[in-house]
Structure 1
Amino acid sequence: MMRGTKPHMQTDPEAITDITAPDWLSADAATEWDRVMPILSERRILTVADLGSLENYCTAIGQVRQMERHLQEHGHVIDVEGAMKRNPAVGIQADAMTRSRLLAAELGLTPVSRSRPAIREDDDADSLVD
């Protein structure tokens, strides 16, 4: 590899090129699926083994959006029997944001994860042979 050039992401011959969102996903999660599936399909890196991560990522993004709507309507602080308390949706949203960020990185959907070199199994085998 030439110095200063980015490595090319390795494609998978068994890559999924298009699959529709599962029916059980929420509307918000299905919207995210429809947004990222063309990106992942074009890169030819998503396989059947990755579908669980994609489903979980989309579910987490759906929860973030659902909690945001709830917070916009009800606020971040709620009155519970005369005491002001943090709305539980704040924590649910924060957890979903963390999960979605981690899963996005696994799927190559973040700028940092896209800039990392692809790990190839044959490189590991070559390094064992001297």
Structure 2
Amino acid sequence: MGKRGPAPKPTSLRILHGDRPDRINAGEPVPPTGTIEPPDWLSDDARAVWDRLAPGLIARKVLTVWDADAFVVLCQALARYKQATALLNGSHLLVQGAGGLVKNPVLGIQAEAERTFLTYAARFGMTPSDRQSVKAEVVADDKGGADRLLS
């Protein structure tokens, strides 16, 4: 069974909101700063996913050195989903099996990759419903704050 209730408020927000000191985790681990690189063994399709998604997550400090391995699983799952979908597009939903027509086994691979991707994507706030629960650092652009709202 998963955790119950709303996600806990990040420590930085607790401090900003003036929460009581006994509710602030002074010993919260902080990931070290460092270069986040994809591993050499990442497949070509997974590397394309990394190159497309990682820069934005790194810039907003959602993807840290500690999160790189989980992000690799996300990239591999999306690559596996893409490969399974390509196989299905060139095949049929039902294939000949023992005793007649059976569901194409690639459908199971595709569904498993989809579940894995969605589970990990939620951790990084990459789905609309999960995005609201992730507190990320906003990167300044040309128009920020009131200027952006008033333009």
Equivalence for 2:39: 22
CA distance in 1 between partners of 2:62 and 2:114 (Å): 24
Is contact 2:31-2:66 (8 Å) kept? no
Unpaired segments ≥5 residues, structure 1: 1-6, 119-130
CA distance in 2 between partners of 1:103 and 1:23 (Å): 21
Displacement after TM superposition at 1:13 (Å)? 7.1
| Greater helix proportion | 1
CA distance in 1 between partners of 2:110 and 2:103 (Å): 12
Q: % of aligned pairs identical?
A: 34
CA deviation vs aligned residue, 1:12-48 (integer Å, no higher than 9, x gap) = 77355x6343221222111111111111112012222
Equivalence for 2:100: 83
RMSD of Structure 2 on Structure 1 (CA) = 2.4
> Which has the larger Rg?
2
Equivalence for 2:83: 66
Is contact 2:50-2:75 (8 Å) kept? yes
Task: Give the total of aligned pairs.
Answer: 109
Is contact 1:67-1:92 (8 Å) kept? yes
TM-score (norm 2): 0.63
Aligned structure 1 segments of 4 or more residues deviating by more than 4 angstroms = none
Written as runs of structure 1 = structure 2, the 5 A alignment for 1:117-128 is 118=135
Greater RCO, 1 or 2 (C-alpha within 8 Å, sep 6+): 1
CA distance in 1 between partners of 2:109 and 2:32 (Å): 36
CA distance in 2 between partners of 1:49 and 1:94 (Å): 27
TM-score (norm 1): 0.72
Inter-CA distance 24–13: structure 2 relative to 1 (3 Å threshold): closer
